[in-house]
Amino acid sequence: MVAKRLHTSRPGGTTALCAPASYRGGVPMSVVRATAVVIAHNGGDELMRCVRAILASGYGATRVLVVDNAGSDGACASLAAFGLPGVDVLRMTRNLGFAGGVNAGLEYLGGELSRDPGHVVVLVNQDCLVGAGAIAALVSRLTSNARIGVVGARILAPDGRTLQHAGGWIYDNGLTEHVGRGMPDCAVFWSPRDVEYVTGALCAFRASTWYALGRFDERYHPAYFEEVDFCVRAWHAGLRVVYEPASVAIHAEASSSGGALSPLFLRRYHRNRMRFLARHRLRRGSLLRTMAAEIRWLAGRRRMSEVWPAVRAYASLPFDLALVRRPRGLEST
């Protein structure tokens, strides 16, 4: 699929970190229980700010589960000692990565979730600050249609004015693109729509969807592409993936990897892109299209710093292909 890009020449003004007035401080008419799951690893002061923002977002049926992925900075211990109402901390003995942390958190909630399959799980990155009404907007959109499987938010850069994510598209070679990245936040991005994936920085799905699709794939360790994989599995199972602009957050993107386009980020990104390709794209009927897209991308690169992490990642492909197991409900793309 050719990724669709949105372009606009309209100037963008300052965007307040809040949802439209219809969501602000309120909840959907039919209150649905929600648990915000925060995967924490050496989050420092960001973690406390993240949790406080969730509690202040105005959705009264929300609890917070922080999964301490064996951090060493004491942030999770400080949070637990602070004793915020409605906040639990689950400690891991080792860093399970983002996908492993999500699975551990949902297994910890297992009995509660199995009794209430409509219970909404909201994933929030530790470096993400949700706005007023953000969780209510996700829950409202998710529960508006039984075919909606995953809902994602409108994510802004730390300046609060520049768009970081308005849904995402996936190229034939597995490269991903955030719609609107780097553009001024403006009305062209303020309409909900179906997309190919949404970022795990702030997204929501029902517990029943996690049970139906299966666990997040922990081979995407430590991070990147696990939410892309989950969304692809959702729409191949006949579910919709929807971008909900009424849910707004500010995100310090890739802070755990030194920032977007840092050497560490690029190594992790391309390594897990190979895992994604092995699982979803390197199949009869799509193999040639995938390879052609990769060759075009390589030919268009000007800097070796962008190419080398991908080239190094190619060596892992035989291993990834050997480990591929087609997940339940997923057909080849």
Q: How confident is the model over 142-177, as pLDDT tens digits? A: 999 999 999 999 999 999 999 999 999 999 999 999
Q: Report the alpha-carbon distance of residue 42 to residue 121 in Å, rounded.
A: 23
Q: Report the alpha-carbon distance of residue 28 to residue 291 in Å, rounded.
A: 46
CB distance 59 to 86 below 8 Å: no
Answer whether residue 1 is part of any domain.
no
| % of the chain beyond a pLDDT of 90 | 79
In this structure, what token pair is assigned to residue 307? 């190419």
> Is the domain of 112 the same as that of 185?
yes
Domain final position from 200, 222, 256: 256
CATH number at residue 139: 3.90.550.10
Q: How confident is the model over 251-296, as pLDDT tens digits? A: 998 666 666 678 999 999 999 999 999 999 998 788 999 999 999 9
Strand locations in the chain, DSSP E?
34-40, 62-68, 87-91, 120-125, 128-130, 148-156, 163-165, 168-170, 176-178, 193-194, 202-206, 240-251
Answer whether residue 19 is part of any domain.
no
Q: Which residue has better confidence, 157 or 15?
A: 157
CB distance 184 to 162 below 8 Å: yes
Domain of residue 233, residue span = 34-256
Amino acid 15: pLDDT: 36
pLDDT band at 21 (very low <50, low <70, confident <90, very high): very low
Q: Report the alpha-carbon distance of residue 194 to residue 277 in Å, rounded.
A: 22
Confidence (pTM): 0.87
Residue 239, CA atoms < 13 Å, CB-side half-sphere: 25
Angle between helices 75-82 and 45-55 (to 10 degrees): 40
> Is the domain of 277 the same as that of 218?
no
